[in-house]
Structure 1
Amino acid sequence: MTDPNTTLTDQVALITGGAGGLGSAAGSWLAAAGATVVLADLAAEPARAAAEKLTAQGYAAEGIGLDVTDSAAVEAAVDDVVARHGRLDVLLTSHGFPRDGRLLEMSDEQWRSVLDVCLFGTFTAVRAAARPMAAAGYGRIITIASRAWHGNPGQANYSAAKAGVVGLTRSVAKELGRKGITANSLAPGLVETPSLRDLDTFDAIRDRAVKDNSIKRIGTPDDVAAAVTFLASPASGFITGEVVHVSGGRFG
């Protein structure tokens, strides 16, 4: 028997970075749980292609182009989703990228580009989505941080951005809980996405992660999507302000 508290029937979910490995997997899981899924990505065509794969399976999905660093565009996109679907119940922020480099060689541009997309872009999405959620008295905000929020050598910019995402999410949880909105972060470890597999150093990166993990494999997008689906559900209503590590037991 299906527990109604674990389904998302008639709900609407917006996923930033929706064409990426994590975003598209989460979109599949949320759509399978009954949600109408809006996949938003900087590149509109990949977002539409990801949505078309879902609609071909009989799910409700659409893809849109969206630059999360353009706050006016983000506000307009959320307004459009609400105007067309009547509601916005779930926000997942899965956009972002690293630009690694040692501190002494890191340029201002490397720092700013990562902070702008990963942290400011999360802020614009959360702020915009929180407005209709607060008006409705219900919402689930899920941000993708990273195990790197603890600090990683060669990732001062990315670690700072993801630590900022955690702080932002916890602040939102404290501010908006009284309005029926939960806010939680997921902190994945190494996850096997197409972009990771394309790296020449993939084997070495994977082997090092497996050695350090308690669970002797690296993560999959479905591992993250499963956690997203639970946190998006009504069943998670008393969980907020948390950082859930989807990292195979590797925390620091």
Structure 2
Amino acid sequence: MVDDVFQTERNDNIAAIGDDKEFANKTSAWLHHAQERKYSYQFDWMGLPIIQYPQDVVAMQELVWSIKPDLIVETGIARGGSAIFYTSLLELNAMCGGPADAEVVAIDIDIRDHNRQAIETHPMSKRLHMIEGSSIDKTIVEQVKSRAAGRKSILVCLDSNHTHDHVLEELRAYAPLVTKDSYMVVFDTLIEELPHDAIGERPWGPGDNPLTAIHKFLQDDDRFEIDEDRHTKLQITVAKEGFLKCIG
């Protein structure tokens, strides 16, 4: 439990960081270089590659602890580290009085056999349900909705195909599942600020990415707002403007 005095100090620090343009410029330069070096590929969670920045890992831990969701929906599995990360947090929550039946539903268009084996044999996979298919396919969305039925607190994490159109469809499909005061977290909004040569041969880039999808989505959905403090305090994050809090 954080006391009021310390929390006030924290809030003042976050505001000061937000006003520090020199800090922001240095952070931006570092992020560009880190992308070129594939910095996020170097970390594991409980033995599996998580492919996230450590700062974002801590941020998601903060959210899961405070929200105590009984369901986390994740699009994009890759090598499984993030799915196991979320299941392990739910396991810890359950040990501390959180929902005993909480689970993660993770979707990926291609779950390769060696990744599936590594994930399914992991001790924390008992809280994981994987679905293979496109996260915007209507039949897949309906499967997720079925798993969400009766759940009281739902957190959604979007981290699959990063094109504008795909992410916008994900936002529209999964936003109705997110419960009040929970979040829909959209990863890799950083793409908007990266030079083309740092992205490589990908179908997304500046002007066509998760951040542009968020801006379009928020024009039509007033249940969500960007949690500015969340990315401001992190600075080093792939999800700038991507922490969307459900306020309605």
Give the alignment's TM-score, normalised by structure 2.
0.50
Q: Do 1:14 and 1:90's aligned partners in 2 also have CA atoms closer than 8 Å?
A: yes
Would the aligned equivalents of 2:84 and 2:119 in 1 still touch at CA under 8 Å? Answer: no
Change (3 A) 1:155 1:37: same
Q: 1:77 to 1:49 in 2, by over 3 A?
A: farther
Q: Distance in 1 between matches of 2:82 and 2:210?
A: 19
Q: Deviations over 1:132-170 (max 9, x none)?
A: 22xx43431111225442231355842146x43102224
Matched, 1:143 2:183: no
Measured after TM superposition, the shift of residue 67 of structure 1 is: 1.0
1:15 offset after TM fit, Å?
1.1
How do residues 54-65 of structure 1 correspond to structure 2 at under 5 angstroms?
A: 54=122, 56-57=123-124, 59-65=126-132
Residue 28 of structure 1: aligned partner: 84
Query: Structure 1, unaligned stretches of length 5 or more?
Result: 97-116, 184-235, 248-252
Aligned-residue offset at 1:174: 6.5
Matched, 1:52 2:96: no
How high is the sequence identity, in percent, across the aligned residues? 11
1:73 to 131, 136, 139: 139
State the partner residue of 1:42. 109
SS of the residue corresponding to residue 142 of structure 1 reads strand
SS where residue 159 of structure 1 aligns? coil
Aligned residue number for residue 70 of structure 2 = 11
Tell me how large the CA RMSD over aligned residues is.
4.0
Residue 156 to residue 13, structure 1, CA distance change in 2 (3 Å):
closer
Cα deviation code 1:7-47 (max 9, x no counterpart): 154421111111x14xx222222222215211111125657
TM-score, normalised via structure 1 length = 0.50
Alignment of 1:75-224 (within 5 A): 75-83=141-149, 86-87=151-152, 89-96=154-161, 118-133=163-178, 136-145=179-188, 147-150=190-193, 151-153=195-197, 157-160=203-206, 163-172=208-217, 176=221, 179=223, 181=224
TM-superposed CA distance for 1:68, in Å, is 3.0
The structural deviation recorded for 1:57 is 3.1
